[in-house]
Amino acid sequence: MRGAATHPSETDETHETRVPDPDRSEFSGVKVKSTLPTKENVSGMKGTIGPWSVAVLAAWCPACGALAAAPSLVPDAPSTAPDYFCTWNVQGFACSYSNASGQADMMTEASLFGKGPNHNWVEFYPEARRDLIFLLDDAFDFPLGGGHNHPSRGSLELDARRFPSYKGTPAERLAKLNRDVRAKGWRSLAAR
């Protein structure tokens, strides 16, 4: 030992470490400069080891001399907690965020299911949508160009011009739209 280091990065130790080579399936030996606290230099450190040291030490695998595999943050099972995709931002994107009325006018059947530019929103997030509620934001319930003060706003009834293929009572129209959204793999439909 050359003398107690006052900080782990002041050590000049090198260790033979085997690290994965991204171009091959086997390991290759690489010399790396250690910045990890060792038994020798930790004993000479003043004060306590900070949280960063604990995190670095936890990730180091002394038995194999390589970084331990990090645990996956992706759950094995689908979530049971409600979560949603809200259409408001994509409504803005579809009209280049021109103004709130333009954004509201993007809420149409064609936007949800169509094949044109900025359409087919129900096809978003194929790997996650089974866990997500598809939330219709502003404007599904008042006429195109009707503005935010229209008396139908908040009625929770699909506007016939915005959703022309949905016929029947207000409840039947929403139930059909819910079935169509669920058929695309979403957990369910919601509206605000």
Dump pLDDT digits (tens) for 21-74.
Answer: 444 444 444 444 444 445 554 444 444 444 444 444 445 545 544 556 788 888
Q: What is the residue whose two structure tokens read 């004993």?
A: 43
pTM score of the predicted model: 0.59
H/E stretch holding 30 reads: strand 27-33
71-75, 117-121, 159-163: least confident range = 71-75
pLDDT at 77 over 60: yes
- Pick from 135, 133, 128, 134: nearest CA to 78: 128
Domain limits, the chain: 8-67, 83-191
What integer is the mean pLDDT of 130-147? 91
28-32, 111-115, 161-165: least confident range = 28-32
Side chain identity, residue 164 = P
Q: What is the residue whose two structure tokens read 């094949």?
A: 115
Q: What pLDDT does residue 192 have? A: 80
Residue 184, token pair as written in the block: 């695309």
CB of 8 closer than 8 Å to CB of 60: no
Sign of CA dihedral 68, 74, 79, 84: positive
Q: What is the residue whose two structure tokens read 């949508």?
A: 129
